[in-house]
Structure 1
Amino acid sequence: MFQLFGNAIGQVVAISIIVGAGLPALFAFGVRALAVGSGGSAEVSGEAGKPAMKVVAWIAFALVLAVIAIGLAIIISSGFGYKVSFEHIFPTFIKK
């Protein structure tokens, strides 16, 4: 009984750390990469931008948006009597 409880608590803690701290950190990394890609930083430096960092920033933003979309899909689909399955990598909706 306590082992099952401990396992469930561990899963909740792991997901909360990933989503609760990981997504904002990834978004902040994307903002910083976008600033470096535009040639700026915290202070005015006048250096040239790095276009590769803009690509890295947009990939970070796309990952954040994808995780948010999947989370919303899981929450909304459960209200309609479906569940989300990741059997074939891409999420699919299955009737409960």
Structure 2
Amino acid sequence: MDLLTKTAESLWQVIAVGLLLGAGLPALFAFGLRLIGSVESGATAGSDVAVAGTRNRLAVFAGWACFAIVVIAIVTGILFIMADFLDHTFGINLF
């Protein structure tokens, strides 16, 4: 493999990871907020009475699952950055 091919392959990997982590995690967090904030309408068509909406339990669970994925990704990133420190200082080899 020549240098240009290796550089192009590495550049593609950096762009993919950057899009996934740089745009994907914030989008997943926003989607989780949207799911938790979603409220089912309690009013029916033609009704003059406004009924308070209820939350869909499945949507709330999915929202919390989105938050859990984001938190796991953040903690994994921090541990990946700290891997050499943890190995050198405490003898903990995670990766």
The TM-score with structure 2 as length reference comes to 0.74
Which residue is 1:11 aligned to?
Answer: 13
Which residue is 1:52 aligned to?
Answer: 58
| Unpaired stretches in structure 2, ≥5 consecutive residues | 41-50
Q: Take 1:71 and 1:14, find their aligned partners in 2: how far apart are those partners?
A: 16
Q: Take 1:80 and 1:66, find their aligned partners in 2: how far apart are those partners?
A: 18
- Higher mean alpha-carbon deviation, 23-32 vs 45-54, is at 45-54
Cα distance, 1:5–1:50 mapped onto 2, change above 3 Å = same
Shift of 1:48: 2.1
What is the number of residues matched between the two proteins? 80
Question: Looking at CA atoms only, which structure, 1 or 2, has the larger radius of gyration?
Answer: 2
Identity of matched residues, %: 28
Which aligned pairs between 1:68-83 and structure 2 lie closer than 5 A?
A: 68-81=74-87
| Unpaired stretches in structure 1, ≥5 consecutive residues | 83-91
Instruction: Name the one with the larger strand percent.
Output: 1
By relative contact order (CA 8 Å, sep 6+), the higher-ranking structure is 2
2:37 partner SS? helix
Cα RMSD after superposing both structures: 2.2
